[in-house]
Amino acid sequence: MTPPGAAPPPEVTDIAVRVRRRLDEVLAVERARWSKVDTDLALPLDAVARLVLGSGKRLRPAFCHWGFVAAGGDPGDDRVVDVGAAFELLHAFALMHDDVMDGSATRRGEPTIHIEFADRHADQGWRGEARRFGEGVAILAGDLAEVFADRLMSASPPAAIAVWEELKIEVNIGQYLDVLGTARGGTDFETARRISRYKSGKYTIERPLHVGAALAGRLDDLQGALSDYGAPLGEAFQLRDDILGVFGDRAVTGKPVGDDLREGKPTPLLAVAVERCRGDDAELLTRVGAPDLGDDEVAALQALLESCGAREVVEVTIGELTDTAVNHIGQAPVPPEASDALIALAHYVAARDS
């Protein structure tokens, strides 16, 4: 088992280097191309590049790569690097739009794109509302990242593109369920798990594995086995995110402590607490989702989530889901190199601190 806070394993980092190099190439070409049209166009492209080339873990390219190798693909094949870069750009698209919808001020320790451009608008004294300008630029920058991602996918076989298109639908469906759940409040445990599965879990692990196998021409053979591993691990990934969103260290996660509590995210962690708490504890939980939630209230909610056993329930669930994933991939008809790598990735994903 990977200890909490451990550095990413080589099964991630070795692939991340190749993918980052490709992203750097793609974005540099686009910046040079559009800066010739108008120098102002460098700004949104630079914003995309800062997010995409920053400190992300590159998990999706890693799972795509090992899905490709599991299906018999050559680890040195540049096609899987292009697809990995596409996943990073798609993830950037999702993050930029998510930050606008959530009103997040920081991402990976830096101002979010909509905040950056709202500040630029205000500093320059431009016409109109700074907030709307910043959000508009962030949405457009996210759309650019999605288009670049699709371009990198365009040379892939039809089976891989079909999975790609489906996962994009799933991300949007999951995001809608998240927005709806946040607005309604009081989401039950099973609904919260469904949101986690579609918003993040499937497109972080299960679908990248499928795309990798499709790229190698063996999706039909391996889709079931990869789902048996990827589906539970994807849910474990999102449950760990939920824990970090409430208890994570800002210096490590790059986001303010308790951000998910202020946003009122409909997580299984909160669903368990709502089910278990009564009286004053239940009253405190009604403050979840309040934009003016103070640091003292965040600390009280953290203590409540510990004392009512909600955190323990989620931690146990993460362990069970991870064990399920590891057991399935250990029995799957894939090369030992791939199964060993995917087992290492499972333990890292379940125990990470950012």
| Structural domain span for residue 250 | 10-351
Say what the pLDDT of residue 249 is.
81
Inside any domain, residue 118? yes
Q: Is residue 2 part of a domain?
A: no
CATH at residue 293: 1.10.600.10
Smallest Cα–Cα separation from 245: which of 143, 353, 345? 353
Rounded CA separation 318/208 (Å): 20
| Within a domain: 3 | no
| In-domain check, residue 1 | no
Rounded to an integer, what distance in angstroms lies between the CA atom of residue 56 and that of residue 92? 10
> Is the separation of the CB atoms in 62 and 11 below 8 Å?
yes
In this prediction, the residues of the chain whose per-residue pLDDT falls under 70 are 1-6, 186, 254
Question: How many domains does the chain contain in total?
Answer: 1
Other beta carbons within 10 Å of 37? 8
- pLDDT value of residue 3: 60
Q: At what angle do helices 59-70 and 207-215 cross, to 10 degrees?
A: 40
| CA distance linking residue 130 with residue 71, whole number of Å | 49
| Residue 238 within a domain | yes
- The pLDDT, as a whole number, for residue 251 is 75
d(CA 328, CA 306): 31
pLDDT at position 55 is: 81
pTM: 0.94
Q: Which pLDDT value is given to residue 8? A: 86
* DSSP state, residue 352: -
Query: What's the burial of 254, exposed, middle or buried (CB within 10 Å: 0-12/13-18/19+)?
Result: middle
pLDDT of residue 6: 67
C-alpha–C-alpha distance, residues 198 and 174, integer Å: 4
Instruction: Report if residue 58 sits inside a domain.
Output: yes
Q: Is residue 306 part of a domain?
A: yes
> Which H, E and C letters describe 251-267, residue by residue?
HHHCCCCCHHHHHCCCC
80 lies in a domain? yes
